[in-house]
Amino acid sequence: ARSSMWGGRFSGGPAAIMEQINASIDFDRRLYRQDIAGSKAHCRMLIETGIIDRADGEAILNGLDQVLQEIVEGRFVFKTALEDIHMNVESRLREIIGPAAGRLHTARSRNDQVATDFRLWTRDAIDDLDRAAAALQQALIAQAEAHADAVMPGFTHLQSAQPVTFGHHMLAYVEMLGRDRGRLRDARARLNECPLGSAALAGTGFPIDRAMTAAALGFDRPTANSLDAVSDRDFAIELLAAASLCVMHLSRLAEEMVIWTSAQFGFVRLSDGFSTGSSIMPQKRNPDAAELIRAKTGRVYGNLTGLLTVMKGLPLAYSKDMQEDKEPVFETVDTLMLCLAAMTGMVSEMTVNRDRLAAAAGAGFSTATDIADWLVRALGMPFRDAHHVTGAIVRLAEDRGVGLEDLSLADLQSVEPRITAGLRLDPTGSAASRASQGGTAPDRVRAACSDARARFLTP
């Protein structure tokens, strides 16, 4: 049967396949709460402005409450023939309260309705993501505090570079997540304008009060241009972009977890709760959650590219193409929430093997820069010359198959006679010496932990 919402000019019903491609109810039912809140705000405004009479308006408001209750309690029957959440709700409202239901859609279109619903949903999702990202920061900071002084190898090119502290490494991710949260906050501030009252595309001739509906729904103000308000989805794309950056950061941490938990590294051990076994190899403790976070990044990037592509080249104003905006956003939010929660669990329950970290910290001639720095400081050598001399010392150690700390003073003096016993080489001292602002020294890291708590975890 033709929709009673717009069937007036039709005599034949839709083809079954038409109904199938057109319907969005299977996914946009997730907007029910926002849809009903938007309708109630619109209805109250219609009453206050005298556009509909109070008795009809009260009947609509009560009916909408009943619809909400039916959906929440799982008693609501969603119908594909009614296309989307908006028409499913309105049709049920008519069953409950009768013809007065038809007055709700005065001075409104599904175009401003869906734009409003979706902004409301996205706003809530941003708040959820912000809380989840803060929880991960909290877990990372706790590990950073526990291991502010645990010396480990720092890498560039995944080659031993200079000793760093485990706490410093954790706090690097805290900063990334802080920027991710900032991007979400920025997107939230920009999206918080209310499209309601833009109607189909041109605004409406009814004497509506847009400031009233905007305020009732917690928006900062009504949108300024009706064509823009019903036809842009940049707010959704901003969320997908911010989510893409965040999951990229999670994927890098996940990759480090995979590396660190390998037998060859052994820096970190995941809890039983976040390890999986093998059906053939009994020794296995696989980091599946980390691998899946790394992999789910693909969906999140795909959804960003997908929605950008849906929107490109659409003439103003609304086109049905835009109904394809919801699934990528829902999937991305679900995916990122899951990844943030899984990473939070992994990080808070992991055990850090400080002995393995310490043993690895000196490997790969990681204190070579300290020799060069010492030559500059103690002998006044230009850094480039010091670099050259140190290179010769590294070559000597490498030829002998020993570490830098195994060379005797006489060995060092065979390369540079002015070297004295004042040159001490050990990874712990090396890390402790890097006390510049933002550096890896344990004292710096402890201060950075409380600074991070203040910046990111106090409301």
Token pair in block for residue 136:
């991960």
Q: Which residues of 200-212 are buried (b: 16+ CB within 10 A; e: fewer)?
A: ebebbeeebbbeb
Residue entry with tokens 């065979």: 414
- Exactly one of 165, 261, 323, 367 binds ligand ARG (CB under 6 A); which one? 323
Q: Which residue among the candidates 262, 271, 278, 319 is catalytic per the annotation? A: 278
Does 24 contact ligand ARG by CB under 6 A? yes
Task: List Cα–Cα distances, 241 to 179, 186, 228, 449, in angstroms.
Answer: 13, 12, 20, 28
- Exactly one of 37, 46, 114, 431 binds ligand ARG (CB under 6 A); which one? 114
Alpha helices (H) in 24-153, listed in sequence order: 25-28, 32-48, 54-72, 85-97, 110-146
* 322 CB-near residues (< 8 Å, 6+ apart): 231, 233, 310, 311, 314
Name the minimum Å distance from CB 18 to ligand ARG. 13
Q: Between 64 and 103, how does the x/- string for binding to ligand ARG read (CB under 6 A)?
A: --------------------x-------------------
The single-letter DSSP state of residue 312 is T
Q: Say if strands 159-165 and 351-352 run parallel, antiparallel, or are unpaired.
A: unpaired
Name the minimum Å distance from CB 4 to ligand ARG. 15
430 is catalytic: no
Q: Which of 260, 318 has the CB closer to ligand ARG?
A: 318
Q: How far is CA 331 from the centre of its chain?
A: 12
Name the minimum Å distance from CB 127 to ligand ARG. 22
Looking at the chain, how many residues does it have?
459
Rounded Cα distance, 196 and 115, in Å: 8
Task: List Cα–Cα distances, 14 to 2, 10, 83, 84, 318, in angstroms.
Answer: 7, 10, 11, 15, 22
Name the minimum Å distance from CB 450 to ligand ARG. 47
Which stretch, 110-118, 332-340, 341-349, 437-445, contacts ligand ARG (CB under 6 A)?
Answer: 110-118
Which stretch, 109-117, 160-168, 368-376, 407-415, contacts ligand ARG (CB under 6 A)?
Answer: 109-117
Q: Which of residues 331-350 bind ligand ARG (CB under 6 A)?
A: none
Burial-class residue 322 by CB neighbours within 10 Å (0-12, 13-18, 19+): buried
4 is catalytic: no
Name the minimum Å distance from CB 37 to ligand ARG. 17
Q: Which of 41, 174 has the CB closer to ligand ARG?
A: 41
Q: Which of 26, 398 has the CB closer to ligand ARG?
A: 26
- Exactly one of 166, 173, 260, 318 binds ligand ARG (CB under 6 A); which one? 318
Strand (E) positions, 44-127?
none
Which stretch, 12-20, 171-179, 269-277, 316-324, contacts ligand ARG (CB under 6 A)?
Answer: 316-324
Does 322 contact ligand ARG by CB under 6 A? yes
Name the minimum Å distance from CB 118 to ligand ARG. 8
Rounded Cα distance, 390 and 168, in Å: 27
Which stretch, 98-106, 108-116, 247-255, 355-363, contacts ligand ARG (CB under 6 A)?
Answer: 108-116
Rounded Cα distance, 346 and 135, in Å: 12
Q: Which of 250, 322 has the CB closer to ligand ARG?
A: 322
CB 427 within 8 A of CB 163: yes
Q: Say if strands 221-222 and 268-269 run parallel, antiparallel, or are unpaired.
A: unpaired
CA atoms within 13 A on the CB side of 257: 33
- Exactly one of 111, 213, 244, 367 binds ligand ARG (CB under 6 A); which one? 111
Question: What is the total count of residues that contact ligand ARG (CB under 6 A)?
Answer: 10
Residues contributing to the site for ligand ARG (CB under 6 A): 24, 28, 84, 110-111, 114, 318, 320, 322-323
Q: Which residues are catalytic?
A: 157, 278
